[in-house]
Structure 1
Amino acid sequence: MNIVRNLSLALNKIPAIKEKLFSPKYLFYTNVTISVSLSAVGDVLEQHYEMLKGEWHEWSFKRTRNMAISGMTIGIVCHYWYKYLDNKLPGRRIDIVLKKVVIDQLVCSPLCIAVFFLTLGILEKSNWSELKNEIIQKAHRLYIAEWIIWPPAQTFNFYFLPNKYRILYDNTISLGYDVYTSHVKHDNLIHSSKK
């Protein structure tokens, strides 16, 4: 009986916790935490899949940590990007939503891909030449995937959701994309470890 009462009390606190986490005061921290967490989960899933396929021998904490930090930098960019976009294009009319989607794809997507590679390049101590080569070889794969995933997802996001839930929604959709991002980023490591 005590367990049921405690569970009921905990469930009753959820709306207040949600309201606090998504309040203007804490929204930045909530968004960054969500981005860090789901980027790490995406990498763990991808590494597990690579281990099942025999492409990766053991889980790399360093790789997951780096992917989580890249999630942090992208979470910061997206937090401010959505605020900026909503200030410049307020409203939810379909023409405004479609403008936001196109601008998001043409401006924010390439920016996030660049921030992703730059963050990981810094963490991995890559020199400029290595970083540039990696971007040339891999960024287009991520950008093509962005055009498949994000226009329909962002149409829903911009039309139905208030700004405070955009990063949560993005990261939920992005979990599968984060798995792919981790795969693209570490693809050369997988193939070189097989040799």
Structure 2
Amino acid sequence: MASGGWRWLRGLCTAGQPLFQGRALLVTNTLGCGVLMVAGDGARQSWEIRARPGQKFDPRRSASMFAVGCTMGPFLHYWYLWLDHLLPASGLRSLPNILRKVLVDQLVASPLLGVWYFLGLGCLEGQTLDQSCQELRDKFWEFYKADWCVWPAAQLVNFLFVPPQFRVTYINGLTLGWDTYLSYLKYRVNTVDRSGTQGTPQKPQM
């Protein structure tokens, strides 16, 4: 039975190989980012529905998350290709270059993706640019500090052990919890401030 399971797994891997080759790899990375963003938002919305009586699942919100996730896929696809060209590295012997790659990723890609996440969703959901920029100012450092707690170690493993064609998929495999956090950060309901006005983040649509 175990032998049959391994044969099934090898057959699945063989069947999936074309998805990680040539032009198909870009499509795989793009859709993978979008699908995992939706999954994270779905997990967050499920929690909100249980915690907030009367709230219903908002498919438009998940559609916006999917669209923004899909735009991140091509960026990550070409970003890793560029990093590999800029700082070629293979195995522990190249650890100094790998550490440089992790640092560049944290200083360049992470903040860019954070900015795009808030501005892109704001645009899709009808916020003005001023509103989106205010939300970004309110939440960016919270996002970026959490990013430093999660991704340097994950990217160290990525650059050390994961073949280049699987790097975005590896990141996508780790992002379900992270995307749930991003959904929380974007759609959480703030308490009313002392002036009696609601903060920039808006309550999730019903």
1:170 aligns with 2:171: yes
Give the match for residue 45 of structure 1: 43
1:146 aligns with 2:144: no
Structure 2: distance between partners of 1:111 and 1:67: 17
Change (3 A) 1:168 1:56: farther
Superposition deviation, residue 125 in structure 1: 2.1
Judge which range, 42-51 or 116-125, deviates more. 116-125
| Alignment TM-score, normalising by the size of structure 1 | 0.89
Give the match for residue 198 of structure 2: none
1:124 aligns with 2:125: yes
Give the match for residue 59 of structure 1: 57
Superposition deviation, residue 183 in structure 1: 0.4
Give the match for residue 76 of structure 1: 74
| Alignment TM-score, normalising by the size of structure 2 | 0.84
> Which runs of 4 or more aligned residues in structure 1 lie more than 3 Å from their structure 2 counterparts after TM superposition?
7-13, 188-194
Aligned length: 189
Superposition deviation, residue 16 in structure 1: 2.9
Structure 2: distance between partners of 1:189 and 1:45: 20
Deviations 1:64-91 (A, max 9, x none): 1111111111112111111111111111
- Percent of aligned pairs with the same amino acid: 33
Structure 2: distance between partners of 1:156 and 1:11: 23
Change (3 A) 1:159 1:8: closer
Give the match for residue 107 of structure 1: 108
**Residue pair 2:49, 2:56 contacting (<8 A) in 1 also:** yes
Structure 2: distance between partners of 1:134 and 1:61: 22
Structure 2: distance between partners of 1:23 and 1:163: 11
- State the secondary structure of the residue aligned to 2:88: coil
Give the match for residue 161 of structure 1: 162
Structure 1: distance between partners of 2:191 and 2:28: 33
RMSD: 2.4
Q: 1 or 2 for the larger relative contact order (CA 8 Å, sep ≥6)?
A: 1
